[in-house]
Structure formats: structure tokens, C-alpha cells
Amino acid sequence: MKEVELMKKNENLLELRKKYVPKAVYNILPSFISKAKGAKMTDIEGFEMIDFAGGIATINVGHCHPKVVSAIKDQAEKYIHTCFHVAMYEPYIELAKRLCEIAPGEFPKMAFFANSGAEAVENAIKIARYYTKRSGIITFENAFHGRTLMGMSLTSKVKPYKLGFGPFAPEIYRIPFGDTNLFETFLIDHVAPESVAAIIAEPVQGEGGFITPPSDFFPKIAEICQENDILFIADEIQSGMGRTGKMFAIEHWNVIPDIVILAKSLAAGLPLSAIIGREEIMNAPHIGGLGGTFSGNPIACRAALAVLDIFQEENLLSKAEVLGQKINSQVKTWQKNFEIVGNIHGIGSMMAFELIDPKTKKPAKDKATEMVNLCHKKGLVIITCGKYGNTIRLLMPLVINDEDLERGFEIIEENLQLLETRSK
């Protein structure tokens, strides 16, 4: 009995976590969650927090949305796993159909599923290589595509993602993000276009700091791809599922990718990713070349179908747009009022702001880390991102109510005030 009571303290669990779970599996908050609903989480000691992190862009429809919970329960009562390769089931097909219908492009599409974002990246590259019979992949500086060998090889930032984990996958070429003028010489000096299978890009770079390229960047990339029979893969794992006010962020540039990948908010917290693309590309690999034991698990597919229903029924894309305007105006006010607030990045409700040293204007990672800790103490969960770790990203559920949103903003503002005063 005593032991059970002890276990319920954050401090005690933290000790066990340190003993049994490797430190590389990083944590942001020092507390353990007992329940989460909408835009709020409560820890095991009863401390309530407003969630501006959304499980890193995974909870766009809110924690434990009743429709998602009910779909999960209903499916769990029927069957949990058959393995789609062994015995097929309807939710997989229905989800593939619906995603093909909403993905950009008025042409026949196909879709299949994996378990994580990184796995979707792996599969998109496999398919692109198979279809084009080429091996080169062009990726960008400041990109993040996951932690598997291919994901890590495509990812830009060395620490913490790549340090000590090499050698990396070959035939990957990296170019700065946002400047297509460099492409011409790049395709002479680094790799011949005839050897390039695909260009992979995040429409809004997520871990990289919510960086958006100039308006002509993606249209030019699409042109280069078309001229050279290179496929364009849009990694919408963080930017998709309505985060920017459009279902797919690439729609802001009116560009149609050959393959789109989704994960994170697709199934509201259940592990599921989708690879969607032109029929002729997706259908190229031989039978048995794609798949996995758990891939497209029926409970995860049902959760994703509920998410798509919620987007329609609750008009979530318009909500995301309105929320984006509120965040934008708030962040701009902070930028005006606080010297420690630097550049603002992002689109719609995928917004972030940098913290800087007011004297040198240099990135202030220490301030961002302190900000996260101070906010947590006051009951707000936020997370950082960016090349220099000094960017605060806002990824609250799109369904957040005004009261929670305002309180979250207040907490950030109080802490900006504190950090600003301290830095004087």
C-alpha cells in the first residue's frame, strides 16, 4: 500500500524512470500525466496544465475527443489486430479512400499506412527509388525527417539527432532551404538530375523552427522536379492535418506533390502514418515490397476516420485559421513589447517566436529552456524548436477554448516580463 502511494508521486516515478529508461529518450516535463482532455493535462499529483504542445503537433483535435475515444472503444471490442497482410479490414480501405480524396491533386491516388512519421519517410523514399529507378535524394538544411537510419540521414541538425549514430545512408544531398537559385549549380556540382529520385521537403520546417520559404520556392521546386522527372515528396507530418489552416500546408503554395506523408495528428495520438501519392507511383513496387506487422492497425485507422469526421463536423480548418489570427496578433504584440522576443515564424496556428539576447541579438537557448520550465510551474506546457533551440513553438489543440488560450498567453507574457527584467 505504502509503495503504491509512493509510486504516485512525480519524484518517485522520476527516480524509477532514471533507473530503468535510458537518458537519451529525452523528457521535457518532470511530471507524469494521469489524464488529459481537450487542451488540458493533469499530472499524477493533480496539477492541471494547459497544453500548448499537443504531444508535439499530435493532438490537433484535442486530447481524448469523445468521437475518437468512442471509435477506439468500439473497434477494440470488435478486433484489435489481424495484420492487414493476413486478413484485411474495412477501416484501412475507408481511410485510404478518404485520404486519397482530400490529398492535393485531381488525379488517381493510392495510400497505405505505417506506424510512425519516420516509417512514412522510409516508405516514401523506397517508393520514389523504385518508381524512378534512381537513388539520389535531395533534402534541405534545417530539415527534420525522423530518427530511423533514413530519417536521421535526411535530417540536418547533428546534435542531438545524429551525433555518434553514423554511418548514415548514402546518396543523400543537402541544399539550403528557401533559395532555388542554388539548384542549377547544385545539379552540376553535387548530383546529376538523372540520378535524383526525389526532393523531400517539409512545407513548414517543424523541428527546424517553423521556417517557411519565400512564396516562389515550392512552385520552382515543382518546376525543377517536372523538368527532370524527379518526384516531389511533401513531408506534412508536422505541418499537415489542418495545423496551418489548410489540411495540407503545401496547399498554401498551390503546389501538388507526387507523394504526401502524414503522421502525428492523423490519428489523434494513436501511432499511425500515411503515405499518399499518384497511383502509378504508389502501385509500382512489387507485391510484398511494402507493409509491416502493425502498419495500419484497425484501432488507429478508426481513430483517424473519427479525426476526419471531426474536421468536417466541427469546421476545424476555419477554427485553425481563426486561432492562427489570434496567435499571430498575440505573438506580434510580444515582439513589439519585449526586447527578448526576436523573429516570428510560421503560418496559421503553426506559429513560433524566437528568444534572443537583447544586447547581442543572438539566439538565447538558455532563455527558451527557462521559459519552458517557468511556464510549466505556472501550469502551461510549451516546447522549443529551431536550429539554436531558442524558438518557442505553439501547437495547442485547434479546439482550445478562449479561456485556456488567454490564460496560456498570460502565463507566457508573465514569464517574458520576468526574463526581460532579469536580462537588464
The contact set with ligand PLP (CB under 6 A) reads: 56, 116-118, 121, 144-146, 202, 206-207, 235, 237-238, 263
Rounded to whole angstroms, the Cα distance separating 382 from 392 reads 7
**Set of cell numbers at residue 413:** 507574457
Rounded to whole angstroms, the Cα distance separating 243 from 227 reads 31
Whole-number Cα distances in Å, 327 to 225, 256, 332, 333, 393: 35, 28, 8, 10, 11
Residue 144 C-beta: closest distance to ligand PLP, Å = 5
Buried b (16+ CB within 10 A) or exposed e, 116-143: bbbbbbbbbbbbbbbbbebebbbbbbbb
Q: What residue number has its CB nearest to ligand PLP?
A: 117
Q: Contact, 312 vs 101, CB < 8 A? A: no
Give the residue with the Cβ less far from ligand PLP, 144 or 183.
Answer: 144
Residue 145 C-beta: closest distance to ligand PLP, Å = 5
Residue 23 C-beta: closest distance to ligand PLP, Å = 19
Rounded to whole angstroms, the Cα distance separating 88 from 298 reads 9
Residue 87 C-beta: closest distance to ligand PLP, Å = 26
**Set of cell numbers at residue 380:** 502551461
